[in-house]
């Protein structure tokens, strides 16, 4: 009867989460047959598979991608290829990932309210939510990893062969989406041996999942190379990491910088849970009086270090300090020529007061996160060897190792804010599982503050994503009208990164410095957010921008007849344009 009650409660919670998620999507309206960010590249691969029956990723691809392409193709079967269908495929996996995070917390024997909080913290994380409305790889990869970790945790606790098989299968799917999927089976291997000890039986169980994932990744890479399908950028991150490892001074500098950036972002994203973390973790420590003072000292030192890091960037430069999804104007890269390359102020930023508050949350959250992880490590060290771990400690070790192994290559090879998304559920679950048992009911000041923070995430994620989709939808309407009314060909238009690459991607094409870095042959027409020297506005399209509230515009520009030479204003664009190291992703 108790088991039935627990299952019924979990079903009710998950239905409520799914309902809440679907209502938010109605507000956002994620429709439109157009690509966003890099997903034009992944969409082309799906289209090739559907139309030609052949998997041929574009040269822009730097990951295996095959599992995501197969998943997207399934959703295109009923009505043919479209970015709407691909977006639906990501939204489906995104919801499965959110529900998987809930189940992960319940597997850790955490109360319902905390499981719901973790699920909502992940689901309405601004980056996770925004990317759920694209065909980018980040969300499918994260969702599959969460489900894989759920089965690995069950196998770690019960020794189930079925759970081990399911976890391994999902880990292979994650690895064949993005290479760092191997982080979870590697973490499982270490955790299993620490819990059970090094015996022939458990060594085999520990090694097999990692060996299968690594073997699948290697075999797939070899197949791509032998068949002439290997994308030009496939080994870019590996080459960057090897280059960094051969330059110790650069490695130390970049590692320290990226660690600070990661702590700030993760402190921000995990702030609703970190409110509960330190007090509960202190309570769980056997010698509470001994650990409290060092923990507070560590938190103060990390807080000071992060503050000095931001100050060094320019008088306490506020968030956001990363690249790609979260920008000063809200959510989504502004990939039109005037904003992305010329850095013209055609898209209003959110109020500085908003970013100062987010910066304060990031600073405090980053300090709390580092301290919580430090105290948790201190709690676990005496249990590492010989095998003395209970189920809860083994689970915490597994989750922390999953996040750590995933993050380490990124601290060396490079950073985009969206790369942090897969670490969020593991760190959230680890923080919860490492602390003393929280109260069964959610009352008091801390739950209220956490709920307010999740509410801020909710508003920011929904409004920002809605605005991002709105201006992109208008941009593609303008492009369709331009090609129909003016009989303009794609070669005549600088329509922004996604349009240019979708129509004219060529990995061997040499970019012309006087034109957009994204493939432009003849820039007779241009789509922008505002006026540009050397061009005349021939039509404008308006839309309502929610955050900050204003009437937004996307304009169609035509090059002035007398401007036959270099585009005026390009000098400024060239000075401010990203370096070659920044160009692989818009």
DSSP letters spanning 519-573: --S--SEEEESS--TTEEEEEEEEEEEETTEEEEEEEEEEE-TT--SSPTTHHHH
Domain end residue (candidates: 448, 467, 486)? 467
Please indicate, yes or no, whether residues 81 and 156 belong to a single structural domain of this protein: yes
Domain end residue (candidates: 425, 446, 467)? 467
Regions in the chain scoring below 50 on pLDDT: 509-517, 565-586
Please indicate, yes or no, whether residues 436 and 340 belong to a single structural domain of this protein: yes
* 410: helix, strand or coil: helix
Residue 570 domain boundaries:
468-582
pLDDT of residue 237: 87
Please indicate, yes or no, whether residues 326 and 446 belong to a single structural domain of this protein: yes
pLDDT of residue 520: 72
Secondary element (H or E) of residue 360: helix 352-380
pLDDT of residue 378: 74
pLDDT of residue 95: 97
Is it true that the peptide bond before 469 is cis, omega within 30 degrees of 0?
A: no
Please indicate, yes or no, whether residues 399 and 531 belong to a single structural domain of this protein: no
Please indicate, yes or no, whether residues 348 and 276 belong to a single structural domain of this protein: yes
Please indicate, yes or no, whether residues 16 and 64 belong to a single structural domain of this protein: yes
Please indicate, yes or no, whether residues 173 and 151 belong to a single structural domain of this protein: yes
Domain end residue (candidates: 414, 444, 467)? 467
Please indicate, yes or no, whether residues 474 and 461 belong to a single structural domain of this protein: no
pLDDT of residue 2: 56
pLDDT of residue 4: 59
Please indicate, yes or no, whether residues 489 and 449 belong to a single structural domain of this protein: no
pLDDT of residue 514: 42
Evaluate whether 349 touches 328 at the Cβ level (below 8 Å): yes
Q: How far apart are CA 164 and CA 568, in angstroms?
A: 61
pLDDT of residue 521: 73
Q: What share of the chain is helix, strand, coil (3-state, %, to 5)?
A: 65, 5, 30
pLDDT of residue 238: 87
pLDDT of residue 579: 38
Residue 339 structure tokens: 């904003």
Please indicate, yes or no, whether residues 364 and 487 belong to a single structural domain of this protein: no
Please indicate, yes or no, whether residues 148 and 158 belong to a single structural domain of this protein: yes
The predicted model scores a pTM of 0.91
Q: How many domains does the chain have?
A: 2
Please indicate, yes or no, whether residues 178 and 67 belong to a single structural domain of this protein: yes
């Amino acid at each position: 009867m108790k088991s039935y009650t627990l299952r019924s409660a979990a079903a009710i919670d998950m239905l409520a989460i799914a309902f809440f998620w679907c209502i938010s999507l109605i507000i956002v309206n994620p429709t439109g047959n157009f690509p966003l960010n890099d997903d034009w590249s992944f969409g082309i691969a799906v289209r090739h598979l559907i139309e030609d029956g052949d998997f041929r990723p574009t040269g822009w691809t730097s990951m295996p991608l095959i599992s995501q392409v197969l998943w997207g193709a399934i959703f295109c079967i009923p009505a043919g290829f479209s970015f709407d269908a691909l977006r639906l495929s990501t939204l489906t996996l995104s919801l499965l990932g959110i529900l998987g995070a809930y189940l992960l917390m319940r597997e850790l024997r955490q109360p319902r309210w905390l499981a719901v909080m973790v699920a909502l913290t992940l689901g309405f994380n601004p980056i996770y939510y925004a990317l759920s409305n694209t065909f980018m790889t980040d969300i499918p990869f994260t969702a599959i990893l969460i489900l894989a970790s759920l089965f690995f945790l069950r196998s770690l606790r019960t020794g189930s062969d079925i759970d081990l098989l399911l976890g391994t299968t999902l880990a292979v799917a994650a690895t064949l989406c993005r290479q760092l999927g191997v982080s979870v089976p590697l973490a499982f291997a270490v955790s299993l041996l620490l819990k059970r000890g090094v015996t022939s039986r458990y060594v085999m169980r520990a090694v097999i999942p990692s060996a299968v994932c690594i073997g699948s990744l290697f075999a797939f890479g070899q197949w791509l190379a032998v068949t002439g399908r290997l994308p030009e950028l496939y080994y870019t991150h590996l080459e960057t990491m090897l280059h960094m490892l051969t330059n110790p001074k650069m490695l130390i500098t970049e590692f320290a910088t990226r660690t600070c950036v990661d702590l700030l972002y993760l402190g921000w994203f995990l702030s609703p849970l970190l409110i509960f973390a330190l007090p509960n973790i202190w309570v769980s420590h056997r010698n509470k009086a001994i650990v409290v003072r060092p923990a507070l000292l560590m938190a103060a030192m990390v807080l000071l270090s992060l503050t000095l890091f931001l100050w060094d960037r320019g008088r306490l430069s506020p968030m956001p300090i990363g690249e790609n999804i979260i920008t000063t104007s809200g959510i989504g890269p502004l990939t039109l020529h005037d904003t992305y390359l010329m850095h013209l102020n055609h898209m209003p930023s959110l109020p500085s007061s908003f970013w100062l508050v987010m910066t304060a949350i990031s600073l405090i959250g980053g300090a709390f996160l580092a301290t919580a992880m430090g105290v948790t490590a201190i709690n676990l060290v005496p249990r590492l060897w010989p095998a003395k771990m209970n189920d809860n400690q083994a689970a915490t070790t597994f989750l922390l190792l999953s996040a750590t192994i995933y993050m380490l290559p990124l601290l060396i090879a490079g950073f985009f804010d969206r790369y942090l998304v897969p670490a969020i559920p593991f760190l959230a679950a680890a923080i919860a599982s490492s602390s003393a048992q929280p109260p069964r009911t959610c009352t008091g000041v801390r739950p209220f503050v956490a709920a307010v923070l999740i509410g801020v995430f909710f508003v920011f994620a929904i409004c920002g994503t809605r605005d991002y989709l709105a201006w992109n939808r208008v941009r593609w309407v303008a492009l369709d009208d331009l090609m129909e009314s003016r009989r303009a060909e794609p070669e005549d238009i600088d329509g922004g990164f996604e349009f240019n690459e979708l129509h004219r991607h060529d990995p061997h094409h040499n970019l012309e410095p006087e034109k957009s870095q994204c493939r432009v042959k003849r820039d007779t027409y241009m789509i922008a957010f505002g006026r540009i020297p050397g061009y005349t506005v021939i039509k404008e399209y308006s839309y309502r921008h929610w955050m900050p509230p204003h009437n937004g515009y996307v304009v169609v520009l035509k090059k002035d007849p007398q401007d036959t030479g270099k585009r005026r204003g390009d000098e400024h664009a060239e000075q401010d344009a990203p370096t070659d190291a920044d160009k692989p992703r818009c």
